[in-house]
Amino acid sequence: MRRYQLRKAWNLALFLGLPLLLYSTWVLYPVFKTMWLAFTEWDGISPVKRWVGLNNFRLLFQDAVFWKALTNNLVWIAAFVTLPTALGLGIAVILNENVRFSRFLKISYYLPMVLSFSVVGLVWSWIYHPASGLLNSTLAGFLRILKSIGLPVTPESAFEIGWLSNPKLVLWALIGAAVWRQVGYVMILYLSGLKTLDPAVLEAGRVDGAEGWKLFRYVTFPMLAPVTTIVIVLSIIDALRVFDIVYVMTRGGPFHSSEVLANYMYIQSFRNYMWGYGSAIGVILFLLSLGFILIYLRQIAREEQ
């Protein structure tokens, strides 16, 4: 009996210890190491790390590029909370009904989600190409149709639009590509939520005269509140940690107009060899993400109570 208990305790320690060791090695240690480096000056190569206290954060708050990156991240949050949520919810509500080819449509809308942001960035870089991209070519074709009916338009002007080179357009071009990928993910979450709704409650709403938009607004959507909370929190976290698509498509340019915190952290650490400064950016990004996560956990605790 004692040998069995020892074997059971050993197996339990092995199954818990190995994941905990990997998690500590790849997650906890880098987090605490980054926090420590944020208070040092280090080039990432030399063995000497000079303690500078809060100097990195002091310089960071005086850095115009940092504030530009933070502002762009806030724009990403606003766009990710609204656009994919609205589109994903609308598509989910439509596909939840018995429409034709619903299975094919679900797969089609979700398919971009299986692609990484790096691949999405490459695909949309081709789409946004000024001379041969799909977007400008389509726009030029549309202008040719308008010209054929006598409107004073110039189809060739469509090829002069630089979606990724215009500081006023580039951020929204990146967000558009990311939203294209995110919509399918939100759609799946809402479809899962719609499948769990109590049919009796929906039927009671119909009996009370709620149909169409009224049924959705006053019955269906309030019942989807837990799913909406999850969608919003995940969208905020995804918007804060966005990096791949920015790095692949623009590297944060032109003139830092598409810069985000994660990309700026990478540039300062791995290009400019300012690991302490880059770590300070990482700490700010971590605190922002942690704040939204704590708000989410607090909301979940309130709902459980």
Query: Where along the chain do its domains lie?
Result: 30-123+169-304, 129-162
pLDDT band at 256 (very low <50, low <70, confident <90, very high): very high
Joined together, the tokens standing for residue 60 give 């960071």
pLDDT at 246 over 90: yes
Q: Rounded CA gap, 241 and 261, in Å?
A: 8
More confident call, 176 vs 222: 176
pLDDT number for residue 198: 82
pLDDT number for residue 304: 65
Segment 158-166 shows an average pLDDT of: 92
Q: What is the DSSP letter of 218?
A: I
pLDDT at 1 over 70: no
pLDDT number for residue 152: 87
Secondary structure (DSSP) of 111-133: GGGGS-HHHHHHHHHHHT-TTT-
pLDDT at 174 over 90: yes
pLDDT at 23 over 90: no
Q: What is the pLDDT of residues 192-238, one digit of tens each?
A: 998 888 888 887 877 777 777 888 888 888 889 888 888 988 899 89
Beta strand 50-51 with 40-41 is antiparallel
Phi-psi region of 150 (alpha: psi -120 to 50; beta: other; left: phi over 0): left
Burial (CB count <10 Å: 0-12, 13-18, 19+), residue 63: middle
Sign of the CA dihedral with 191 first, then 194, 195, and 196 last: positive
Segment 246-273 shows an average pLDDT of: 94
Least confident of 15-24, 29-38, 78-87, 139-148: 15-24
Which helix (H) or strand (E) segment is 146 a member of?
A: helix 134-148
pLDDT band at 4 (very low <50, low <70, confident <90, very high): low
pLDDT band at 151 (very low <50, low <70, confident <90, very high): confident
pLDDT number for residue 35: 93
Q: Rounded CA gap, 41 and 53, in Å?
A: 9
Q: Rounded CA gap, 11 and 164, in Å?
A: 55
Helices (H) and strands (E) in the chain, counts: 15, 2
SS3 98: coil
Share of the chain above pLDDT 90, in %: 53
pLDDT number for residue 211: 79
Segment 143-171 shows an average pLDDT of: 90
pLDDT band at 305 (very low <50, low <70, confident <90, very high): low
Q: What is the DSSP letter of 157?
A: G
Residue showing tokens 């049924």? 215
Secondary structure (DSSP) of 12-42: HHHHHHHHHHHHIIIIIHHHHHHHHHTTEE-
Residues 6+ apart with CB under 8 A from 155: 140, 141, 143, 144, 147
pLDDT number for residue 163: 94
Which helix (H) or strand (E) segment is 225 a member of?
A: helix 225-240
CA-to-CA dists, residue 185 to 70, 84, 122, 297, angstroms: 25, 9, 20, 21
pLDDT band at 96 (very low <50, low <70, confident <90, very high): confident
Q: Which CATH architecture has domain 30-123+169-304?
A: Orthogonal Bundle (1.10)
- Cα 166 to chain centroid distance, Å, stands at 23
pLDDT at 121 over 90: yes
pLDDT at 2 over 70: no
Instruction: Supply the mean pLDDT for the chain.
Output: 89
